[in-house]
Structure 1
Amino acid sequence: MTGLHERHLAVSPDWLALYYRHPLELTHGEGRHVWDADGNRYLDFFGGILTTMTAHALPEVTKAVSEQAGRIIHSSTLYLNRPMVELAERIATLSGIPDARVFFTTSGTEANDTALLLATAHRGSNQILAMRNSYHGRSFSAVSITGNRSWSTTSLSPLQTLYVHGGVRTRGPYAELSDERFIKACVADLEDLLGHTRGVAALIAEPVQGVGGFTAPPDGLYAAFREVLDRHGILWISDEVQTGWGRTGDHFWGWQAHASSGPPDILTFAKGIGNGMSIGGVVARADVMNCLDANSISTFGGSPVTMAAGLANLSYLLEHDLQGNARRVGGLLIERLRAVGAGSPAVREVRGRGLMIGIELVRPGTDEADPDAAAAVLEAARAGGLLIGKGGGHNTSVLRIAPPLSLTVAEAEEGAEILGQALHAAT
């Protein structure tokens, strides 16, 4: 155990988990690579939990941060803030939500917490629909709507949460149905649930479940849900903390895979927009955003420095068509990983879209999740020079792969090769 690890354990909560038997201290990064304190170089396929969206040490972002920090670092939302207004204007336009208003926070958890505040205030109800296997953050309210037992640390909450089926396509009672019948069954489940309630405020859903293991319903499920929700006046919150900014390749936002319903009433974002700087936020149509009848500000949301980073990062993303790169390189990577998975009896499924890919591991010959195998592959990949993540609703048995969106074809090939060797060695 290193001295830093011992110091960490002495001052940190027991539940503050670290990856690896011998945890890493990352000291610097460049492009799609990072280095540890011992000088080892790694290809980064996790990006600080999908947060280093464009590249490590992206010059455009570091320059914007440095220049803004040299002018003024902090002011709060009590003063006009040019970078905040400029970024809000761009996000409002990109969101697709008409007459949109934007409120900045410091994290995805806080963004989802704000969305819940808005929805419950607007509807005058504390009832929330959430998806099974979901994750929306670690605050008191966000934990209470998390449908993933591994991350739901308490049932004590002011919210009454009801869980809907549909976020996981290949497990559960409808797994064997066709996509069309799967959607119909999930809609029937929603209709039945609403028949036993009244005055539900909102449905919150990740278009692709992140911590849940990069699972997703068939395209169109949330459009079908929206028809039901609209009849009951229930708001739709799309949690885009992990799916936003083009990561899925086919779409800029995850909700656009269900676009026949139009944009959500509320959209939350975070992670990638700051490329490592702490930015989260909420977009909502004006009548929803303006429903609060008490004072509310943010001390740190919309900080001039983080907003400068967000503007530079978003500009780089759009100017270099990183969504298109995620589609092209992500398509190649998932093909390679499916070929790798076909040769391993431990691989149940390789799924995903764009540069958001999950590999679900099971005990060979069964459908039983194998978290020990996932942990072993994580270690073996690190030994081979590759950093990946893990998650899943079945005891963290899914390898999560989400590199920066500027990933090259050569790097995708390299990462797939290392991961194939790790799977072979560890399972």
Structure 2
Amino acid sequence: MSRAAAPAPHRAPNPLLDRHRAVLPDWLALYYADPLELSHGEGRHVWDTAGNKYLDFFGGILTTMTAHALPEVTKAVGEQAARLIHSSTLYLNRPMVELAERIAALSGIPDARVFFTSSGTEANDTALLLATAHRGSNQVLAMRNSYHGRSFSTVGITGNRAWSPTGLSPLQTLYVHGGVRTRGPYARLTDAEFTAACVADLEDLIGQGRTPAALIAEPVQGVGGFTSPPDGLYAAFREVLDRHGVLWISDEVQTGWGRTGDHFWGWQAHDRNGPPDIVTFAKGIANGMSVGGVIARAELMNTIDANSISTFGGSPITMAAGLANLSHLLEHDLQGNARRVGGLLIERLRAVAAGVPAVREVRGRGLMIGIEIVRPGGDEPDPAATTAVLEAARAGGLLIGKGGGHHTSVLRIAPPLSLTVAEAEEGAAILGRALRAL
């Protein structure tokens, strides 16, 4: 494709887009030159208001985890809404207690306590509050290329410039190597050498000043382009952290609930030293309802010595959705489906991308797959070509996402975990055509 600047394509009138731009922030991103308005969904498909049908390989940013319009969730929400929508945490809340019990049991954390929030950003915010209060330190270790949310504290620990609009922060953040395996100064090392170099870097950072409160890390970096270190790296980090009394926070907002296929939690790929001190979650747990949360052992969770409540966290209606969705996921072994169908999908995507010079790498695990796009003949990221593939996939009837480092040059593929083999084949074929159009 030509790299020269092209005139802006003609856009048909879109009154809703004009209204959006008139009242919402300029920095509120929209996909596509002609943005979509979705009207409804079913299973792994959605429809726009023009009647076009799409195979959904992004699920509202990994949030429609099981399926669109899942009957069990729809029924649970309707029944709870007919009884009581809201109460706040000032009253006993049976659905909240029941979901907390299930999540605590699934976490692997001994004597676990669960606090519910309304988003992943708020969950990570809470984890930082717990860790810094418990350790008496405002220094935090984070991974390069990371993303942890859009609040004032979480943009301050986000190691991805494209998603961190200010350098001001209540925290002192030090960034550690290791989240990206195939780029950076350690890319050419073997997995064992890579891990050893990253551990040495961590040791060096901790030894330079006051003891940090915690390391926060995504087992697979989501917004960063579905990059991940070799399995076992965070276990090796944990040995260093434990020796210095530094907590480990695993940000499972995108990797939790079996999406990676091999494991229920992303941290389990690194688990020789047991579960993290704190786990954060959100996204898919309630299949689109606003639920996030923090899991920590009682000693850590109860470190807060001031009054606190949550107005919307743990609301009866979102907890009912979470209970129904988690039950469906476990009863239908959607983690196993992510492993089986995700393995097939990544094989198909590697096959269709094999003859495309612009594809640097197809990577991922389970139903969490990234395709990195570069200028042919080198390693330079190509955001324009990435956007072109995103548009071509939509034209072919497939919705995907994008992300990756500072350059947004990775196609992000994360369908609902109930994806069928036929749908995986169909999506790979559409993406193949979109990639070959480059």
TM-score range for the pair, normalised by the shorter chain length:
over 0.9
Residue among 307, 321, 327 paired with 2:333: 321
Could you tell me how far apart the structure 2 residues matched to 1:391 and 1:343 are?
23
1:57 alignment partner in structure 2: 69
Structure 1 residue 43: Cα displacement: 0.0
State the SS of the aligned residue for 2:163: coil
Query: What pairs up with 1:73-84 in 2 under 5 angstroms?
Result: 73-84=85-96
1:110 alignment partner in structure 2: 122
Q: Is 1:69 matched with 2:69?
A: no
**TM-score, with length taken from structure 2:** 0.97
Residue among 385, 389, 411 paired with 1:377: 389
Query: What pairs up with 1:278-293 in 2 under 5 angstroms?
Result: 278-293=290-305
1:7 alignment partner in structure 2: 19
Structure 1 residue 340: Cα displacement: 1.2
Could you tell me how far apart the structure 2 residues matched to 1:374 and 1:354 are?
22
Residue among 183, 197, 200 paired with 2:195: 183
Structure 1 residue 199: Cα displacement: 2.0
Query: What pairs up with 1:70-219 in 2 under 5 angstroms?
Result: 70-219=82-231
1:412 alignment partner in structure 2: 424
Structure 1 residue 97: Cα displacement: 0.3
State the SS of the aligned residue for 2:19: helix
Structure 1 residue 283: Cα displacement: 0.1
Q: Is 1:227 matched with 2:239?
A: yes
Show CA shifts across 1:157-191 (max 9, x none).
Answer: 11000000000000000000000000000000001
Structure 1 residue 394: Cα displacement: 3.7
Could you tell me how far apart the structure 2 residues matched to 1:263 and 1:39 are?
46
Show CA shifts across 1:308-367 (max 9, x none).
Answer: 000000000000000000000000000000111111000000000000000000000011
Could you tell me how far apart the structure 1 residues matched to 2:204 and 2:312 are?
42
2:37 alignment partner in structure 1: 25
State the SS of the aligned residue for 2:165: coil
Could you tell me how far apart the structure 2 residues matched to 1:214 and 1:367 are?
17
Structure 1 residue 414: Cα displacement: 0.0
Residue among 357, 365, 370 paired with 2:369: 357
Could you tell me how far apart the structure 1 residues matched to 2:319 and 2:402 are?
30
The aligned amino acid for 2:52 is N
Structure 1 residue 408: Cα displacement: 0.0
2:10 alignment partner in structure 1: none
Show CA shifts across 1:63-121 (max 9, x none).
Answer: 00000000000000000000000000000000000000000000000000000000000
The aligned amino acid for 1:235 is L
State the SS of the aligned residue for 1:403: coil
Which runs of 4 or more aligned residues in structure 1 lie more than 4 Å from their structure 2 counterparts after TM superposition? none
Q: Is 1:399 matched with 2:392?
A: no
Across the two proteins, how many residue pairs are aligned to each other? 426
Identity of aligned residues (%): 85
Could you tell me how far apart the structure 1 residues matched to 2:209 and 2:245 are?
13
The Cα RMSD (Å) is 0.4
2:5 alignment partner in structure 1: none
Q: Is 1:252 matched with 2:264?
A: yes
1:34 alignment partner in structure 2: 46
Q: Is 1:241 matched with 2:253?
A: yes
The aligned amino acid for 1:109 is T
Structure 1 residue 399: Cα displacement: 0.0
Structure 1 residue 123: Cα displacement: 0.3
1:16 alignment partner in structure 2: 28
Could you tell me how far apart the structure 1 residues matched to 2:208 and 2:97 are?
43
Show CA shifts across 1:238-282 (max 9, x none).
Answer: 000000000000000000000102000000000000100000000
**TM-score, with length taken from structure 1:** 0.99
User: Could you list the runs of 5+ residues in structure 2 that have no partner in the other structure?
Assistant: 1-12
Could you tell me how far apart the structure 1 residues matched to 2:155 and 2:356 are?
35
Could you tell me how far apart the structure 2 residues matched to 1:263 and 1:164 are?
20
Q: Is the 8 A contact 1:369 1:394 kept in 2?
A: no
State the SS of the aligned residue for 1:245: coil
